[in-house]
Amino acid sequence: MISYAYLVLNMKANELLRNRKGQNTVEYLLMLAVVVGVVLIAGVALKSYMPTLFGDIQQMITGAAGSLGAGGGNR
């Protein structure tokens, strides 16, 4: 025969399991907020560095293409 205490514990366990889904959602939202925050902070930190980086890359590509054109390319 099933006791009253067992039924109460079983009901409480089911209630806790149902509430766990909401807890997981909150945890995932908090992790997402942290990731977004890190990306925003990194973007602000690199904002002044990026234009010079792209300019340097452009100069390297232009220099490499110029040296290939002067050398005649593959023969």
> Residue length, the chain?
75
pLDDT along the chain (75 residues), means of 10: 68 67 81 95 87 88 81 55
pLDDT of 50 reads 82
DSSP string, 8-43: HHHHHHHHHHHHHHHHHHHHHHHHHHHHHHHHHHHH
pLDDT of 19 reads 58
**What are 33's two structure tokens?**
């907020």
Residue 54 burial (10 A CB sphere; 0-12, 13-18, 19+): exposed
